[in-house]
Amino acid sequence: MRDTDWPAEDLRARLAAEATLAQKQTELATANTKIAAHAKQLTDEIIVKRQEAESLRGENLEVRSHLEKAESAMRLAERRLWDSLEAIEDGFAVFDGDNRLIAANRAYLAPFEDLEDVRVGAAYPDILQLAVEEGIVDHGEMWGPDWVSMMLARWDDPMRSPLTLRLWNNQFIRLIEQRTDGGDMVTLAVNVTDTIAREKELDEARLKAEAANRAKSAFLANMSHEIRTPMNGVLAMADLMAEGTLDDDQRLCLDTIRTSGEALLVIINDVLDYSRIEAEKLSLHPEPFDLEKSIHEVIVLLQPSAREKQIEMIVDYDMFLPTGFVGDQGRVRQVLTNLVGNAVKFTETGHVLVRVVGLRDEESGEHRVHIAVEDTGIGIAPEMQEHIFGEFNQAEDEMNRSFDGTGLGLAISRRLVALMGGDMWVESTLGEGSTFGLQLSLPASSKSDEPQLGPPAWLGRVLVVDGVAANRSVLQKQLTALGIVPECHADMGQLATMDWRGEDVLFISQAGLADLDASALAGPAAVFVLCQGPAARSLDLPGNAQVLLQPVLRRELLRRLSELEPAQCPLPAEPTAPADAAPRRMRVLAAEDNKTNQLVLRKLLKSVDIDLEMVENGEEALAAYRADPPDLFFTDISMPVMDGKAATREIRAFEDEAGLERCPIVAMTAHAGPDAEGEIFAAGIDHILTKPLKRDLLVEHIEAAAPAEAELSMAAE
């Protein structure tokens, strides 16, 4: 370096230094500015953080206060839950999946009193063990360990049902357990001591009520027997007196005695039946029976009252429906008697028609049988139609009653039909008439005693002449069902000029006959005179004519037609006695202890030409039987020494031993109940007659039992 250069160099250096300084200063200033900015940012951030911290602290405080509130609410809820659990009288406990007790209220623990081992943590099997050892539970006949095993098995059984335990202090606890989804077992131990006591009281009360009911039925049955026996005397004697000569006043009194007596009997029977149904004592006795025949029997029974009022009685029985069914014939007849009886009672003019239709139910094989009883009577107002099926209910009010009756008939009928599994209803228009219907499902009876007859092959034209359209159409249907197509006419006019052939058959109503000259009827093979009632028997008929009682049974019609021969008198010949048997009187034995009833029986049979031997009890009857077997035996049922059933059993045994023919035995009883009937038939008795005895029925049995060699004659009544 040169000295001369130094100031320049120095200057340069200084300038450089100054420049550097200036630059450093600038840099420093920049750095300062940055630092200041950074410091500001930091300060800002600190402020934000501080604010955030402040707010977090606030939130924290809030959360803590919420938590405290939640905790206290939870404690409250838990306390309330426990208070509630403690307040209920029933025990409550929860066991965990390992069967350890995790919670139990005081009621649950109470029976264990202060047994320390029964507390939270205790195992269920140990609790059971203690219950047995300490005698807390009464395990009855069961051995203690067996009881514990039974309880444990039950605990594990998901299908367990509640169980009632008896404790040492005679308290009854019903255990109901349920496993929760979490595997805990919740147990309720309900104190059912009061309920059990009440159930016991109820049971005792029920037993007492049933006993009282039985006593009531027995009382009613006995009472009916007691009342019927003297009624037998009253009515039968009145009947007999009526046959003698009486002046008008006497006849009036006598008629009143008879009608009142009969009305009383109806009431007794109704009340008896109703109380039997009420007490569920009435059982059905199904047997094969002929429905069509039963309906006809009812019609025949009621025909006299219908005839008095000139009401037509018509039966229209579905020609495709069988007539043999299995059912309680007596009860079916009782219902029909009520319905047809009412129809006649409440009808002044017109007709009563019993219509029977039915269909076979393929599934059950039974027939759904509909029976409708239609009348053209006074009808029933709509608001009364349900009412009349009630007990003692009638459509008229008591003040203006003009028909007699108890109002029990329909109530009994509807219940009987219900008992047979069917139902019953009514349709009616006031002033026009009523139709009572009933529906029953009945199996057809396989027993068919109907001979397979057909109408004769020679039969030509068949004519039906009847002024009543309904009668005409029923007969037409019946004949059609037999394969005969009849010509039907309402008026008789053309009969006089009819060109008859020997193969023709004429059905003509009794009314039509009256206008005809007998010669007009000489042509056909046979003339059937259609009559309603026995008065027809006295008709003066030509030789080729015979009476056919209406309504006509289909089977009867077929039988009568099949007996015909072309152009000759078709009446079947009376059976004749074998030539070698000497004629004798019919022997009838009767057993009856009651003197009045003996007298009644003697008087009723006075005019029948028989040998009547009267004995006082079953033992005497048996002796009389052995000495000389009668043709017919009438027996009372309740008699001293030996009753009618026992006597019959002995007689049947004797017949078997001695190889004798079975003698018809007819019971005469005041007990009309079907239960009693079952026993009577079981003893070997063939028929039952209910007291008061009716002469006609007695005579019917005598006629049926009369042997060919016996001469039976009746004095005219």
> What is the contact surface with ligand ADP in residues (CB under 6 A)?
338, 342-343, 346, 375, 377-378, 380, 388, 394-396, 405-411, 434
Q: How far is the CB of 406 from ligand ADP (least distance, A)?
A: 5
Our CB check for ligand ADP shows the closer of 410 and 520 to be: 410
Q: How far is the CB of 401 from ligand ADP (least distance, A)?
A: 8
Packing angle, helices 618-627 and 644-658, rounded to 10: 20
Our CB check for ligand ADP shows the closer of 191 and 413 to be: 413
* Dihedral pair phi/psi, residue 713, rounded to 5°: -135, 150
Q: How far is the CB of 335 from ligand ADP (least distance, A)?
A: 10
Contacts of 178 (CB under 8 A, 6+ apart): 185, 186
Q: Strand pairing of 687-690 and 665-669?
A: parallel
Q: How far is the CB of 342 from ligand ADP (least distance, A)?
A: 3
Q: Which residue is nearest to ligand ADP (CB)?
A: 405
Our CB check for ligand ADP shows the closer of 93 and 378 to be: 378
Our CB check for ligand ADP shows the closer of 352 and 588 to be: 352
**What HEC string does 320-375 produce?**
CCCCEEEECHHHHHHHHHHHHHHHHHCCCCCEEEEEEEEEECCCCCEEEEEEEEEE
Q: How far is the CB of 654 from ligand ADP (least distance, A)?
A: 46
Q: How far is the CB of 344 from ligand ADP (least distance, A)?
A: 8
Cα separation, 365 vs 359, whole angstroms: 10
SS3 content of the chain, % helix, strand, coil (to 5): 50, 20, 30
- DSSP for 12-74? HHHHHHHHHHHHHHHHHHHHHHHHHHHHHHHHHHHHHHHHHHHHHHHHHHHHHHHHHHHHHHH
Cα separation, 486 vs 464, whole angstroms: 7
Cα separation, 595 vs 697, whole angstroms: 21
Q: How far is the CB of 640 from ligand ADP (least distance, A)?
A: 38
Our CB check for ligand ADP shows the closer of 340 and 495 to be: 340
Q: How far is the CB of 470 from ligand ADP (least distance, A)?
A: 17
Cα separation, 292 vs 521, whole angstroms: 31
* Cβ–Cβ < 8 Å for 202, 215: no
Our CB check for ligand ADP shows the closer of 380 and 612 to be: 380
Our CB check for ligand ADP shows the closer of 203 and 427 to be: 427
Our CB check for ligand ADP shows the closer of 350 and 407 to be: 407
* Cβ–Cβ < 8 Å for 259, 305: no
Our CB check for ligand ADP shows the closer of 99 and 393 to be: 393
Q: How far is the CB of 414 from ligand ADP (least distance, A)?
A: 9
Q: How far is the CB of 606 from ligand ADP (least distance, A)?
A: 35
* Cβ–Cβ < 8 Å for 264, 231: yes
Lookup: tokens for 403:
């028909």
Contacts of 665 (CB under 8 A, 6+ apart): 632, 633, 634, 635, 648, 651, 684, 685, 686, 687
User: Any idea what DSSP says for residue 122?
Assistant: -
Our CB check for ligand ADP shows the closer of 271 and 536 to be: 271
From the number of C-beta atoms within 10 Å of its C-beta (0-12, 13-18, 19+), residue 24 rates as: exposed
CA dihedral 43, 49, 54, 58 (to 10 degrees): 170
Our CB check for ligand ADP shows the closer of 311 and 388 to be: 388
Cα separation, 177 vs 638, whole angstroms: 62
User: Any idea what DSSP says for residue 422?
Assistant: -
Q: How far is the CB of 247 from ligand ADP (least distance, A)?
A: 33
Our CB check for ligand ADP shows the closer of 398 and 717 to be: 398
Angle CA 181–186–191, to nearest 5? 150
Q: How far is the CB of 410 from ligand ADP (least distance, A)?
A: 3
